[in-house]
Structure 1
């Protein structure tokens, strides 16, 4: 972990020393964005540790599960299981992470690729933090747990108790909507925008369909995941727009009342009317 943070620190030092192209619609700051990434990575680590400590479902809990207790909109997916759909879902999932590389084909975006990379890291770290913390705290069985044809070991495993919300769908949506948002901000008059946004929605929707078919998530898990990912992909670049002169994101430090030392660090957001 320390090695990973060191790499991030070196990246930000190199980024801060390089001039940002004046044609970029965004404004980034070494300390503010560094705090954002560091905080996001830290929350991801915390969430993963919490997930690893989740307990398996007990046999009594498994026997008590009832399809009728599931929301009607989700009930049809209970019992789904497909290993091939699960494996297939990883193709668009991982493929979406490479979308920012397409910006290297355009001179303007290429000249600001370091800045775009920072925003992408922030987007994915924020989405990941929201997913891991939520998945660790919420107890919800995956659809496959209702499949009595599976082994009891697979149905009781703690990994099968984090259906809410769909992480694959959220991460894919964060990546695709980020790419669409950045493309629009650099190319506001492009005739390709309707197709770009359609693709941004279609790819995570396809991932969500596969995750339902695989028995990993219910419909509502995917809808919420897609919404959270899309929001992060759009809002984080928007927060960095130069035109947002009244909006400020800044690192914060809190101290104990008795002055004994630092309590926590984070980010603050203010808007001046």
Structure 2
């Protein structure tokens, strides 16, 4: 761990997540006058079924998905049952938080520039109150599936890094797929995400959960500094793996 890098990256990611999520929640879709005319056939065939989900069945699925989100986010605490994890508890806690912060940054990097309408916006049976309410333009990609996948894959990755002699790695990575997959299914049933959103969120979360710990196993050269952009500013980040 490099605290001079990991702590600032984690802090920036968490702050960006807070303000980015607030922005997405309040963002209104473009061309409001076209919303009543949207239909499932406006969606490409792979995702079209999500636009036909019965709105009456969605609320319970969404409530359960929120439970899975919170449980998934905190599930790495179970790793403290392992004496090796307790021996590095401070680094483990920081690494877990950093993983979720980077995952949140990846979500915002997609959701902010891609204002994809949620599936219920294309369903004629969905109420106007829901269609013209908040949180309607951040379908891509599924943050719930991404968060849960980042946690479950992070747990398996760290465990086998600390216990290289352990067996059944493929089995446990398979088990790590189940919570985010079910969470994504619940978001689909709630008409909040298309299948392509869920698949993308799953892949991004799993990759984050694996790659962030993996970078700690290698010698890395990292450069990070602010840059001036046209009509704005940003951060330059480069990572060289040795």
Same-fold status (TM-score > 0.5): yes
Task: Please tell me whether residue 271 in structure 1 is matched to residue 241 in structure 2.
Answer: yes
Provide the TM-score with structure 2 as the length reference: 0.88
| 8 Å CA contact retained: 1:169, 1:225 | yes
C-alpha displacement of 1:240 = 0.7
| Equivalent runs, 1:1-273 vs 2, <5 Å | 28-56=1-29, 58-80=31-53, 81=55, 82-241=58-217, 244-245=218-219, 247-250=220-223, 252-254=224-226, 267-272=237-242
- Work out the CA distance in 2 between the residues paired with 1:268 and 1:140: 29
TM-aligned CA distance change 1:264 to 1:217, over 3 Å: closer
**Range 85-94 or range 141-150, more displaced:** 141-150
TM-aligned CA distance change 1:92 to 1:254, over 3 Å: closer
The total of aligned residue pairs comes to 235
2:46 alignment partner, SS class: helix
- Work out the CA distance in 2 between the residues paired with 1:53 and 1:122: 26
| 8 Å CA contact retained: 1:169, 1:229 | yes
1:164 alignment partner, SS class: coil
The ranges of structure 1 where at least 4 consecutive aligned residues each deviate by more than 4 angstroms after the TM superposition are: 56-59, 263-266
Instruction: Calculate the aligned-residue CA RMSD, in Å.
Output: 2.1
Per-residue CA deviations over 1:211-257 (Å, capped at 9, x if unaligned) read 1011110100000000111111000000111xx23x3234x33477x
Larger CA Rg, structure 1 vs 2: 1
Provide the TM-score with structure 1 as the length reference: 0.79
1:72 alignment partner, SS class: coil
- Structure 1 unaligned regions, length at least 5: 1-27, 257-262
- Work out the CA distance in 1 between the residues paired with 2:227 and 2:200: 35
